[in-house]
């Protein structure tokens, strides 16, 4: 098996504009993905996302926003070490692509950069599988969250 790219695609019954806000704005992202999200949705912005309580075994991951092209694309690098700028080889690249589909949106997630991290084979496989399992858990949470939003 190749542990290089994770790709997932889901359909969401909402416009690309609504879905873009939900996958790019921290106040929405924390409703379906991490417990906390602290960043600005502008290219070059840095911040972090937090899973659980870091003092009780949870963790925080650094995040750098690369591309914000509403309502089509939101791209960021994450998991880079503190004190280092996100770059190929020290972080993973996540892209959300949104395409109108009927009255809804086709959301495509791509995460790359696993091989470029330089991990030994066992670590590469473990990290890849953790992210794969994570996206399989969190992405399906987007559609119900979007459906819960007040349409006004």
Domain ranges (residues) in the chain: 5-148
91-138: per-residue pLDDT in tens? 999 999 999 999 999 999 999 999 999 999 999 999 999 999 999 999
Architecture of the structural domain at 5-148: 2-Layer Sandwich (3.30)
61-83: per-residue pLDDT in tens? 999 999 999 999 999 999 999 89
Cα 99 from Cα 142, distance rounded (Å): 15
Number of neighbouring beta carbons within 10 Å of residue 103: 8
Global pTM reads: 0.95
19-53: per-residue pLDDT in tens? 999 999 999 999 999 999 999 999 999 999 999 98
Exposed (0-12), middle (13-18) or buried (19+): which is 31, by Cβ within 10 Å? middle
Q: How far is CA 53 from CA 36, 48, 116, 142, 152, in A?
A: 10, 14, 29, 22, 34
């Amino acid at each position: 098996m190749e542990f290089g790219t994770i790709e997932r695609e889901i359909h969401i019954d909402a416009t690309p504009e609504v879905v873009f806000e939900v996958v790019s704005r921290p106040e929405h992202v924390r409703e379906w993905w991490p417990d906390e999200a602290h960043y600005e949705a502008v290219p070059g912005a840095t911040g972090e996302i937090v899973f659980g309580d870091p003092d009780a075994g949870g963790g925080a991951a650094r995040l750098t926003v690369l591309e914000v092209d509403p309502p089509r694309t939101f791209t960021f690098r994450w998991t880079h070490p503190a004190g280092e700028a996100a770059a190929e080889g020290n972080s993973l690249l996540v892209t959300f692509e949104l395409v109108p589909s009927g009255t809804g949106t086709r959301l495509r997630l791509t995460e790359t950069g696993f091989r470029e991290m330089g991990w030994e084979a066992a670590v590469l496989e473990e990290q890849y599988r953790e992210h794969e399992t994570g996206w399989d858990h969190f992405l399906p949470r987007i559609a119900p969250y979007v459906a819960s939003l007040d349409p006004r």
